[in-house]
Amino acid sequence: MVLIIALVLAGLYLISSILHLIFTAKKKNNITKVTNFISIPLLIAATILFLVTKFPDSKNLIRYYSCSLGTTFLCYCFYLYNVIKSKKGNNILTNLLFLISNIFWLEILIPSFKLCPVPTFVIVIFIILCIALILFHYFCCTKKFMIIDFSIIFLTLSSEAVLLFAAILTIISQIAIYSIMYFVGIALLIFITCRQQKLYFSEETKTIHFSTSLLFSIYLLIMSASTVLMQI
């Protein structure tokens, strides 16, 4: 019975996501605010019900997944509805929420660091490479160095880089569909984040682009499916 309800909710999520993308493409902003508000909770509910079928083994996955997607949902709502009228304030809040969401994802993948120990020199190279790439990305977005904006970008992308590293270790420790999907999902998240940060410094941030909605929907679906497959 639980599995049937989960499948129904998953189907409703797909329908609402398709409608959301259609209305986004047609720039029906008032309708997209409704479809967005519906679609993510449907995905969260469907995924949790799939995981409940494996309870209590899935207890930790349910906890961290719920916290991560719940925080992501709040982040997207704040971004969509401009809860804080200040552009900079809204940007700080949404990025902090995304950072928290990434930390919960890391809780799911962190066992990989124990299963696949990493030499110190690899960690040092990884840190140097991350700092260099984040600096390069920041100055591609803007020529002005602003400590608050830079700190937000640095923290968000650093957390996502650690997530990507954890996903690579997960693949090394266990080559499976879920581990590959986690890697693809996190790589997509980094691309979305970089794109949104670049848009933040432009004049285009007041509209939600179709491509952004599409990529974000794919990201959520991949990460949710990976979490379910991880428990199978």
- Reported as a single tens digit per residue, the pLDDT across 103-115 is 999 888 888 887 7
Average pLDDT, stretch 23-30?
73
pTM to 2 decimals? 0.86
Domain residue limits, the chain:
2-231
* Number of residues that this document lists for the chain: 232
Mean pLDDT of all residues in the chain? 82
CA distance 22 to 36: 12
**Alpha helices per DSSP H over the chain:** 2-25, 29-52, 59-81, 87-109, 111-115, 120-141, 147-173, 177-200, 210-231
Average pLDDT, stretch 128-150?
82
Cβ–Cβ < 8 Å for 130, 156: no
pLDDT at 76 over 80: no
Work out the pLDDT band at 203, boundaries 50, 70, 90. Answer: low
Cβ–Cβ < 8 Å for 74, 36: no
* pLDDT score, position 81: 67
Q: Which residue has the higher pLDDT, 12 or 85?
A: 12
pLDDT at 37 over 70: yes
